[in-house]
Structures are given as C-alpha cells and as structure tokens.
Structure 1
Amino acid sequence: MLFLCLCTIVVLQCYLAAAAVAGLASRRRKLAVVMASMLCCSPLPALSSPATGGAAVVGFSSSSRRKAHVVHPAVAVKDHDLSSSSPAACGDEGGGAVVIEEEEEVHHPSMMMSVAAPAKKKKAAVAARWRPPRLVVPAVAGADEAMAAVAAAKEREEEEAMDVEGEGFWVASRRGLRHAMEDGYGVITQRIEGHSQMAFYGVYDGHGGRAAVDFVAGRLGDNVVAAAEKQRLSEKASSPAAADHGTRGGACAATALVIDGDLYVANLGDCRAVISRHGAAAALTSDHTPARDDERSRIESSGGYVSCGSNGVWRVQDCLAVTRSFGDGGLKRWVVAEPEVSRTPLAGAGCEFLVIASDGLWNKVSNQEAVDAVAAAGDHYSVDSCRRLVDMARRRGSRDDVTVMVVDLKRFLNC
C-alpha cells in the first residue's frame, strides 16, 4: 500500500512537471511569433510615437487585474483580419501583428518600455526610396575640338559681319557658310569744280580667295572717277593686265556712278543693280552667265565650251559659273573683263533708290521683293533695310556671302 502511494505521488509530480514544461514551451512559441512579426512588418505611421521614432511600445499599468496586450505598432489590425497585412516570409499563416492575451493576472509597477526598431527595417526603408541610375555621358573623341571649332566659326562670322551707314548710302554684309568672306564694297563721294556732285558705288563678289576682290576694291573706284573727270575711259581699270596683276582667283562687280544728274551702271559677272521707280523694280544690269545665249556663243566661237551640271548650273570649261570677271587669268581667253554699261537720267523718271548686291542675295530674292523690302521703310532708308534683305536671303537657304547696298537717289535730283 505504501508503495502504491509513493508511485502515485511520483506520477503526479511528473505530470505537474510535464504540464509546466508544456506551458513554458507554448509561451515561447507565442513569443517567437511576436518577435517574427516585429522583424518582418513595416511601421505604421499612425501608431508611431514621435519620441521613439517609430519604435515598438509596450505599456503596463498599476491595475492589479488586467490582461497584458502586446501589439506591434507597425500593423493596422481591424476585426482581427490579418490575412493581408504581412508577407509569407514572416513564418505565420495569417501574417501581420499578433495579439497575445494572457488570462493570468499581471502585477507590475507602472512603466513604459521602448524597443528599438531593428537595423533591417532601416535598410528596407532606404531600399524603398528608389533612385534612377546615374546618367553617364561617354566622352566622345574630338568633341572639345568640335565645340571649339563651332565657337570660332561663330566668332569669325560676327567679326566679318559688317553694317555701314554713310552719306546717302547703307551697307550690310554677312559671310556665307562655305568659305571665308570674299565680298567687298567701295564708295567715293566728292564735288567736281565745286558745283556738281559726283558719287561712285560698287559691290564686289570674289571667288577663289580675297586677292582679286581687294585689288579691284582698292583701284576700280579711283580709276572710274579719274576717267569721269577727264572724260575718257580708263584703260588701266578694264585691261586684263591690271585685273590680273599676279593675283589668284577673280571678282565680279556691279558699280554705279552718279554725275551731272545721270546714273551710269556697269557690271561684270552676276552682281546686280536694281532701281526703284515709283515702287516698281527695274534691273539696270544683266548677269553674265553661260546660260545667256550670246555669252555661250561668244565663248564657243573662241574655242571654249560651256556645260550644265547636275545641279542645273552652267559653267565655263566645267569650272566658272560666270562669263565675265576681273582676274581668273587661267580662263581669260573666254572669261573677259569687259563690262556692260548703261545710262539712266534721274530727273523726271521717278527714281527713288538703287539696290546693288552680290549674287548671294539675287539667287534667293527677286528684284521686286528687294525693292518692296526697302520701300517698306518709306523715305527713311537705313541699314535696317539692308539687314532685312540679308536675313531674307539667309532664311531661304543662301550659303554664299551676301552684301547689300542701298543708295538714296533723290538726294541727287536737287544738285
């Protein structure tokens, strides 16, 4: 009997010990679930305390009988539906925060405990702020040189741009895109014997360099004025020897001489002079190109030939697009320096102004368009009218040098 009692006592003690161990294991499992929820869930701003920076808060009161609640503040729980609050990686089927309700009485003094958020949550927050990858522009060989070349070309273009306002005339000139500036101009005004005003105006368009343009611009005006004063032709100005003078390239020209109320206009090549009479445009020159039948016949009769290229431009000996010019010594057998001259009385003809320009303008702007652009300013002519014509030609695609001169003819009517 005593033996049975002892066995019963031992069995009861073992049962109580097993129950205690089972309860402790259950509590540990629930605590592990809570810790896993704290590590895997993101913080809920609405439940975070400013003082703790989003840390979990566990509260205890001095009440002698109440249930202890541990709620992770990072998850909003409504009606205990936790099926979509946290990822499956947290280890629990429902996910989200876990509320543990203990039936045991809890006796703790009043206190507040802060549990710092783990470092993994900080890394997750940083990863959430996604930034696009850095834009890396690869270095291109020669890019700096190309930018420097563009800047130098722009600076050179600004330096070679020219606007001139003179006594009764205005000039605007811009360099083209294909080469260095090869246009030029010349103006001479003076009085003869103190009673008659005379003026010379010229626009020059070079090709193959500036040598011929500079030579013609420096001598032609003086020779024409000298010839007009002495009433004789200047052989020095029109002879091939004077035009060549060891220079390379060539130059076209359109000139105007006003003397004793008459306007004399002469030209070589494709520079042109256009007069405005009561607003109507009239060309005072005819372009010297191989497209003219008389010029083509003259060249062919001299043993040369003309041809039309794929771009529709006629050329002498497959080379030059004009049939008359200063210089061009290698083609002087066919390309002569003999100008065509016309005379126009200014009195009683309604003459208003004269437009002299290089072919950079006339290839893109018609005679009447040029006259209309200048006449738009009324009687107040200015360099703006010249610039307007230059800009018009460039907007229409002119790649050549453009030089425009406007001459007020009404100032000579009362001389």
Structure 2
Amino acid sequence: MSTAALITLARHGRHQVRRRVLLSSRLLQEDRRAAPARHGSTSERRWSRFDPDGSGRPATWDSFGIWDNRIDEPILLPPSIKYGKPIPKISLGKVGCASQIGKRRENEDRFDMAQLTEEVLYFAVFDGHGGPGAADFCHTHMEKCIMDRLSKEKNLETVLTMAFLEIDKAFSRHAHLSADATILNSGTTATVALLRDGIELVVASVGDSRAILCRKGKPMKLTIDHTPERKDEKERIKKCGGFVSWNSLGQPHVNGRLAMTRSIGDLDLKNNGVIAEPETKRMKLHHADDSFLVLTTDGINFMVNSQEICDFISQCHDPSEAAHVVIEQAMQYGTEDNSTAVIVPFGAWGKYKNSETNFSFSRSFASSGRWA
C-alpha cells in the first residue's frame, strides 16, 4: 500500500475507503475486459493492489488487510506505512484485567502493563508462590529492566531473555540482603508480552502461566508450561542433581517442593536445575483475524481450557468485562487458587463468536486442566 493511500485512510475513514476500493475494483475489472482488444492477448493477467490475485472479485476488508474494527481505534500511520497495511493503535485504556484471591490466604498474583516507548507496549502476569516476595519484585522492577535492555538491543526475544536472567540475579541479591528470611523461599512464574508497532508480538515465559492468541475464534498457545512432566525439563533437573517426585494427587514436583521447572526466585533450587531462562515466541499479528491476546495464571488454566477461554471472552462486550467473566467462570468451575487475567484487544475484537458457548456453574474436571 502506498503512503498516499494510507494517509487517505487515516484522514477520511474506512467508509470512504470502502467506496473507493469497490470503485477501483470495478474500474480494474472493466480494464481487464478491455485488455485483450488493446494488447491482442488473453494470457496476460493484470495485477493491482485492489485485486492481487487477478480474479476480478471485489476486494473485501479481509483481503484488503483491514481489521473489522469493533473497538474504534485510530490507525498507527508510521507502522502502517512501514508494513504496508493499516495497523490499529492498541491503547492501554482498552486492555481488560482482573485478579481474584480465590480461597487462599493472600493474593500472590501480580500483573502489569505499560507503554515502554513510542513503539513498544508491555504486558505481564506473575504468579507467586512461597509468599508474594518474588512476584512483588518482578512487578516493581521488570518494566525498568526491559526498558534498559530496549535502549541497547533491537531483538525483542533477546531483550526479554536477558531481562528475565537479570531480574532473577537482582532478586537473589535482594533476598540475601533482606531482613525477612522467608523471602529466600519465594518464587514466581512470569509471562511477559511485548508488542512493537502494533504488529510484532513477542512473548517470554517461565513457569505455568500462559499466553494465548485468539485467531479466527481459535486459541493459539504462545507458551508451554514448564513442568517436570516435560522430558527435556525433567532431564535437566536430573543432570543438575535434582529429582522429581509425585505427591498423593499424582502431581510431579522438583525435589518434592516445586511444581515447575523454571521460575524467577526459588533460590534454594537454582543448583538443582530450576532456571530463569524463558522460552520465547515471536509472531506477526493479522488484525483482520486476531481478536485478542490473553495472559492467565494457573488458577484459570487448571480449570478452564484454552478454547473455553476464547469462547468466554468472545461473547463479551469489552475486554474489562471479559477479564472478570473468565475469572468468575474459573471460580464457578471450582478453582481455589489466585486467578488473574489480562486481555489485550486486537483488530478482530468481536468479529468471531461461538453461538454455542454456554456459561456454566459446574463442569467435569477431566475436560480442563493444565493439559488443555
């Protein structure tokens, strides 16, 4: 798409562009019918940005690369020019978030969001265990740690990997200097997403908090739980002198204590293979198809599967309502853990809905869980 076309789109809105697209498509079809007479050949196909496959079919918003805008966000003009397609501005005010203590004594979950630079947005959830110390530390310092790295490094996967490792080292120093000895046993999951230019999405995670992208109404898991059930994780634990044991419910734990193999904190298990290095995933958003990104902690993940999360959110009017609905459903299904959800709407918000979705007050536990 040319710069002039994008500027026209930004100034005059989608309805005028629709008329111009359809008019241009009709004109191109007329030109195509007249082409054989002018050129004396029917084998040559004419191409244009309004009819890229030469089929003669009128351009639609999806084929033209426009999102089905239900959230009324303006266009990010510089990124749109850079990537050659209109990109909506994702504002923090439209992001939905909610956190519930469940039946625990305190809420050890934390979440955060921020505009780090003009181009980069930050979203995160932290699920603490052994006390809120590690989750609080990440909530306070992760943003700055990433900011410092962004000024030196362009690759967002590298930025997040280095930030996770640095925050783990910083927490270790903090814990050993703290007057509160209990903080030494504290740890936390961390699932962090960076969105650059409204189109480049990078997610990093340790532990069992999750990130899910809803594309065309279906969930795309962007994270994989770090549990002792994973063969690669289990082998690392054993190589480092640790062991895996199962409790009375059949759940595996590192050294009989920790249900995950990667975390920030858990300092007593660092020499037994519990690491803070995250697994990362990078992808490009398609705003015509992508409805939202959702970050969740295990209070939700162990009771509501990925498709159910997408279905519940898709039925809601806005992300704020959706975050509360997801947590309420997890509670209705029987979760007792802290539950947190952060929902970031994208271009296809409200476009894909499952008419068969039912909100329930009970469920079969076998249909959910960490493996969903």
Query: Which of 146, 159, 174 in structure 1 is aligned with 2:100?
Result: 174
Matched, 1:208 2:99: no
**Residues 250-265 of structure 1 aligned to structure 2 (within 5 Å):** 250-260=187-197, 261-265=199-203
Partner of residue 58, structure 2: none
How far apart in 2 are the matches of 1:220 and 1:203?
Answer: 11
The whole-number CA distance in structure 2 between the counterparts of 1:368 and 1:253 is 22
Aligned to 1:160: none
Q: CA 1:349–1:253 in 2, change beyond 3 Å: closer, same or farther?
A: farther
Q: Is the aligned partner of 1:241 residue 2:241?
A: no
Residue 317 of structure 1: aligned partner: 255
SS of structure 2 residue aligned to 1:400 = coil
Q: Does 1:368 align with 2:368?
A: no
Matched position secondary structure for 1:222: helix
State the 1:179 CA deviation: 2.4
Per the alignment, residue 401 of structure 1 pairs with 338
The reply on whether 1:280 has 2:208 as its aligned counterpart is no
Give yes or no for contact 1:365–1:393 (8 Å, CA) kept in 2.
yes
Give distance in 2, aligned partners of 1:320 and 1:191.
36
Is 1:381 aligned with 2:318?
yes
| Partners of 2:102 and 2:288 in 1: CA distance | 36
Question: What pairs with 1:12-411 in structure 2 (closer than 5 Å)?
Answer: 166-192=92-118, 197-231=119-153, 233=158, 235=162, 237-239=164-166, 240-244=168-172, 245-246=174-175, 247-248=183-184, 249-260=186-197, 261-333=199-271, 334-347=273-286, 350-377=289-316, 380-410=317-347
Higher relative contact order (CA 8 A, sep 6+): 2
The answer to whether the Cα contact below 8 Å between 1:263 and 1:343 also exists between their aligned partners in 2 is: yes
Q: Give yes or no for contact 2:291–2:348 (8 Å, CA) kept in 1.
A: no
TM-score by length of 1: 0.55
Q: 1:185 to 1:318 in 2, by over 3 A?
A: same
In 2, Cα distance between equivalents of 1:255 and 1:187: 9
Distance 1:315 1:385 in 2: 33
Structure 1: distance between partners of 2:282 and 2:312: 25
Task: Give the 3-state SS of the residue equivalent to 2:261 in structure 1.
Answer: coil
Label 1:230 to 1:411 Cα distance change in 2 as closer, same or farther (>3 A).
farther
Shift of 1:183: 0.4
The aligned amino acid for 1:359 is D
CA contact (8 A) 2:101 2:339 kept: yes
Q: For the structure 1 residues 226 and 411, does the alpha-carbon distance in structure 2 shift closer, same or farther, using more than 3 Å as the test?
A: farther
| Amino acid across the alignment from 2:294 | V
Q: Read off the aligned partner of 2:165 and give its amino acid letter.
A: S
Amino acid at match of 1:339: P
Question: What is the deviation of 1:301?
Answer: 1.2
Identity %: 34
Cα deviations by residue, 1:320-362 (Å, 9 ceiling, x for unpaired): 0011101011011221111001001014672220110100000
Instruction: Provide the C-alpha distance between the structure 2 equivalents of 1:280 and 1:226, rounded to a whole number of angstroms.
Output: 35
The count of corresponding residues between Structure 1 and Structure 2 is: 242
State the Cα distance separating 1:303 from its structure 2 match.
1.3
